[in-house]
Each structure stands twice: as structure tokens, then as C-alpha cells.
Amino acid sequence: MTIRGGMTVSVRGWKGIAFDVLRRRGEDVTVMMVGDDRRRKVHVSDCVALSRKSFCRECGQIGC
């Protein structure tokens, strides 16, 4: 699956936390932790797409 803006993903190194993808530029993705306001840049290969039902929209915890 292709990672693109508007998706929600998990990020390697941040176990159990969901991130919203803000934008993708080449192989870099700008993400923001669900429920947070800090942006982070990560490599697209570190992201795995999540379904909307697999995480909490309020706290960002996967499996909440």
C-alpha cells in the first residue's frame, strides 16, 4: 500500500502510537502523532498503514 497524506500510520520506533500523515515528499513523510501538535519527518519505509478502527482518535493509542 502506498503511504500518502490523509492516512494514519504506525511508525517504526513509536510502538503502539498512531500518526496522521500530513504530506509526503519523495521518500520522506511528515507525520503528527494523533492527539499531539508536533510534526516529525520519517522515511516512508518506516510507516505502516492503519485502519480507522485499529486506534483511538482521541489519544492515538493503537488498540485502545
pLDDT at 52: 87
pLDDT digits (tens, 9 = 90+) for 8-56: 999 999 999 999 999 999 999 999 999 898 999 999 999 999 998 999 8
Quick one: CA dihedral 28, 29, 30, 34, positive or negative? negative
Amino acid at position 43, single letter? H
